[in-house]
Amino acid sequence: MKATIKDVAKFAGVSVATVSRYLNHSPLIAEASVEKVRQAIEALDYQPSMMARGLLHGNSKTIALAIDDSNTETYGNDFFLKIQYGLEHELTRNSYYLMICHVGTGVDAVSTVRTLIHENRIDGLVLLSEMAHGELLELLRESQIPFVIAGRSQEEGTLWVDIDNIEAGHRATERLLQTGVDSVGFLTNSFDKMFVSERFQGYCNALEAAGIEKKDCYISDGLVSPEQIAAYVETHKDILCEAYVASDSTIAFYFLRELYKRGIRIPEQVQVIGFDDSVLAAAADPAMTVVEIDVTKLGVSAAKLLMKQLQATELRPGQSLLPVGIIERASTK
């Protein structure tokens, strides 16, 4: 059977209070007792029960990550797993644990999270900005549980971290401009996603700074399937820009392939830069230069912010933007 604090106390010949003091690094304990308890713990391979501790303090040293599986297509699976990895890593450094709450279509996110909170299973929560709305957000607010949003949030008084996507769009565009091109296009299939419009914003800023007219560029909406992208290239084959910023790696991948098939030399004739170092970015031909979106760091940052919230006496809103880098490969000069 697992050893309890009583076993340790008996073995060490002291009271349970003394053992507890040792465990909590209390200064009111004699050197001699410290040693006795240390040895007893060692001998019995004792580890205090989190259940008992948590019951007393009302905390669980556990954080939940709510993942919305319904939009894996938007991000790709890497995204979730990287956030999760970064989060867990940082939590572990702080002796916290990570609980996962997948919310697929049809599963009620709110009730699951409600139970998690009510049963005292979690001390805090990380959720994606897509989920930080309506009922769930309300629940989090009224239950006063610390939470951090991964991704930019419009909601009042929330705490969120995000990759600096405006900066990312800026860097991507700047990178292309540095090669001396004077027409840069922006490719996307939809401006609905926040991160796309932010990257586009950065793209516009960079062009403006360089004094290049946006009207020189082809901003194309509705590119979704490989076929649509092929059709787009067909239509624009004689008026292609010298370089393109693609809103995400998937579009860039199919775009590159289409150019390749038509014998257009990359990067000599047309350069392409994507975002996020996904499997597709590396598998593209030629391999794709991308703005590195360090999603793992996003998880780490979310964890750090949450830890701060847990130590603070009051919940305070705020935001944080993470810098980006560029991974140089063969689709740019």
Which run of H or of E encompasses 118?
helix 109-118
Residue 141 binds a copy of itself, judged by CB under 8 A: no
Residue 91 binds DNA, judged by CB under 7 A: no
Residue 121 touches which member of a copy of itself, DNA, none, C-beta under 5-8 Å by kind: a copy of itself
Tokens of 146: 């610390």
Q: How many CA atoms lie within 13 A of 153 on its CB side?
A: 25
Q: How many CA atoms lie within 13 A of 8 on its CB side?
A: 29
Residue 52 binds DNA, judged by CB under 7 A: yes
For residues 61 and 96, the answer to whether their CB atoms sit within 8 Å is yes
Residue with Cβ nearer a copy of itself (68 or 164): 68
Contacts of 89 (CB under 8 A, 6+ apart): 296, 299, 300, 303
Residue 333 touches which member of DNA, a copy of itself, none, C-beta under 5-8 Å by kind: none
Site string for a copy of itself, 275-314 (x = CB under 8 A): ---xxx--x-x-----------------------------
Site string for a copy of itself, 67-106 (x = CB under 8 A): --x------xxx-xxx-xx--xx--x----xxxxxx-x--
Name the one range near DNA by CB under 7 A: 17-25, 103-111, 208-216, 239-247. Answer: 17-25
Residue 32 touches which member of DNA, a copy of itself, none, C-beta under 5-8 Å by kind: DNA
Q: Looking at 35, 38, 43, 49, which residue binds DNA (CB under 7 A)?
A: 49
The least CB distance from residue 104 to a copy of itself, in Å, is: 7
Backbone angles phi, psi at 273, to 5 degrees: -130, 140
Residue 107 binds a copy of itself, judged by CB under 8 A: yes
Which run of H or of E encompasses 202?
helix 194-210
Nearest to 296 by CA among 325, 331, 254: 325
In the chain the beta strands, taken as DSSP E runs, fall at 62-68, 97-103, 124-128, 147-150, 159-163, 184-187, 219-220, 243-246, 271-275, 289-292, 318-322, 325-327
Site string for DNA, 279-318 (x = CB under 7 A): ----------------------------------------
Query: 173 to each of 5, 72, 208, how far by Cα in Å?
Result: 62, 27, 11
What b/e sequence results for 177-204 when a residue is b if at least 16 CB atoms lie within 10 Å of its CB, and e otherwise? beeebebbbbbbbeeebbbbbbbbebbb
Q: In the complex, which residues of this chain contact DNA (CB under 7 A)?
A: 2, 4-6, 13-21, 23-24, 28-33, 46, 48-49, 51-53, 55-58
Binding site for a copy of itself (CB under 8 A): 2, 45, 47-52, 54-55, 60, 62, 69, 76-78, 80-82, 84-85, 88-89, 92, 97-102, 104, 107, 112, 115-116, 118-121, 253-254, 257, 278-280, 283, 285
